Amino acid sequence: PVLHRDLKPANVLVTESFRAKVCDFGISREKMATCAPGTMSKGIGTPVYMAPEMLESKPYSTKLDVYAFAMVMYNVLTCKPPFAGMGHDGGNLDPVQAIVKVITFNARPRCDAELFPPHLPPGVLTSMCRAWDRDPDARPDFDELVPLFDEWVVASAAASV
């Protein structure tokens, strides 16, 4: 298994059949039980998609990518980047603002149901918001998240026919 370490919309390609393909493995690393603090993590990644443990140079695991995956899905489902409107000027967060908000203020995107498509299958919103937990051990695994989003893609495709 591989830790991608920079999941973001620009690194996910979608095929004509709505299959997501992750790309740009330039900063990825082979999965170990846990990566040591600061191991190949300084100055890499995209702050609004990065988990708190990586921003703080703490040990991290595959839950790092779970956090980023949920941020990507927020972007897909709302058509807005994470933390939209949370910048000091009411705009989007710049990288430094993102780091400060996530680490110091434990900021996360809003999980209000009205921000999301009405046909979202049960559990998608709850699991996505759990994936942003500050504690990596409290985050769901990909085995829980991916089937929920697959169900949403199938339901969305069927609704558009």
Active site residues: 6
CA distance 67 to 44: 16
Strand partners, 47: none
Tell me if 83 sits within 8 A of 48, measured CB to CB: yes
Residues 6+ apart with CB under 8 A from 154: none
Residues 6+ apart with CB under 8 A from 2: 25, 28, 29, 30, 31
